Chains A and B, each alone.
Chain A
Amino acid sequence: DTGVSQNPRHKITKRGQNVTFRCDPISEHNRLYWYRQTLGQGPEFLTYFQNEAQLEKSRLLSDRFSAERPKGSFSTLEIQRTEQGDSAMYLCASSSHEGAGGRSPLHFGNGTRLTVT
Chain B
Amino acid sequence: AQKITQTQPGMFVQEKEAVTLDCTYDTSDQSYGLFWYKQPSSGEMIFLIYQGSYDEQNATEGRYSLNFQKARKSANLVISASQLGDSAMYFCAMRGGMDSSYKLIFGSGTRLLVRP
Write the residues of chain A forming the contact surface with B, with a CB cutoff of 8 angstroms. Answer: 31, 33, 40-45, 48, 50, 55-56, 89, 91, 93, 95, 97, 102-111, 113
Interface pair A97/B45, CB less than 8 Å apart: no
Which of B62-70, B71-79, B80-88, B101-109 is the interface stretch? B101-109
Across-interface contacts of B50 in A (CB, < 8 A): 103, 105
Query: Contact partner of B95 among A31, A41, A102, A111, CB < 8 A?
Result: A102
Interface pair B47/A105, CB less than 8 Å apart: yes
Complex Cα–Cα for A89 and B32 (A): 27
Interface pair B103/A48, CB less than 8 Å apart: yes
- For residue A34, give the distance in angstroms from its CB to the closest CB of chain B: 10
Output the nearest chain B residue to A33 by Cβ-Cβ distance. B103
Query: Contact partner of B106 among A31, A42, A104, A109, CB < 8 A?
Result: A42
Interface pair B106/A43, CB less than 8 Å apart: yes
Which residues of chain B from 13 to 59 have any CB-CB distance to chain A below 8 Å in the complex?
A: 31-33, 35, 37, 42-47, 50, 52
Number of residues from B at the complex interface, CB < 8 A: 28
Interface pair B101/A48, CB less than 8 Å apart: yes
Complex Cα–Cα for A7 and B41 (A): 18
Complex Cα–Cα for A42 and B108 (A): 4
Interface pair A108/B45, CB less than 8 Å apart: yes
Query: Contact partner of A104 among B31, B42, B102, B105, CB < 8 A?
Result: B102
- For residue A55, give the distance in angstroms from its CB to the closest CB of chain B: 6
Complex Cα–Cα for A108 and B37 (A): 10
Interface pair B102/A113, CB less than 8 Å apart: no
- For residue B109, give the distance in angstroms from its CB to the closest CB of chain A: 5
